[in-house]
Amino acid sequence: MELCIGSQRRVRDYGYLACSLRETLILADSMTYQTLNLTISEGIAELRFARPDLLNRFDMDAHIEFVSALETIASQVPDVRVLILCAEGRAFSAGGDFDEMLDAHRSKAIRNDMIKYAKGVFYGVSELPIPVISAVQGAAIGLGATIATLSDIVVAWKGAKIADTHVNVGIVAGDGGIISWSQSIGINRAKRCLLTGEVITGEQAHAWGLVTDLVENPEDALPLARELAARIVAMGPNGVNGTKRAFARITGILAAQALGPGLEMEMESMASGDLPVTLEKLRRK
Nearest to 155 by CA among 212, 111, 196: 212
Whether residue 7 is predicted with pLDDT greater than 90 in this model: the reply is no
Asked if 110 and 273 touch (Cβ cutoff 8 Å), the reply is no
- pTM confidence score: 0.89
Over residues 144-172, the mean pLDDT reads 97
pLDDT tens string 195-233: 999 999 999 999 999 999 999 999 999 999 999 999 999
Domains and their CATH numbers in the chain: 2-222+233-284 (3.90.226.10)
pLDDT at 268: 96
Crossing angle of helices 108-126 and 21-29, in 10° steps, is: 70
Helix (H) or strand (E) holding 132: strand 132-136
pLDDT at 175: 93
Instruction: Tell me the C-alpha to C-alpha distance, in Å, between residue 158 and each of 155, 162, 200.
Output: 9, 10, 10
Whether residue 5 is predicted with pLDDT greater than 80 in this model: the reply is no
Nearest to 180 by CA among 161, 213, 205: 205
Whether residue 27 is predicted with pLDDT greater than 50 in this model: the reply is no
Cβ-based neighbours of 273, under 8 Å, separated by 6 or more = none
Asked if 192 and 198 touch (Cβ cutoff 8 Å), the reply is yes
pLDDT confidence tier of residue 3, bands split at 50, 70 and 90: low
pLDDT confidence tier of residue 141, bands split at 50, 70 and 90: very high
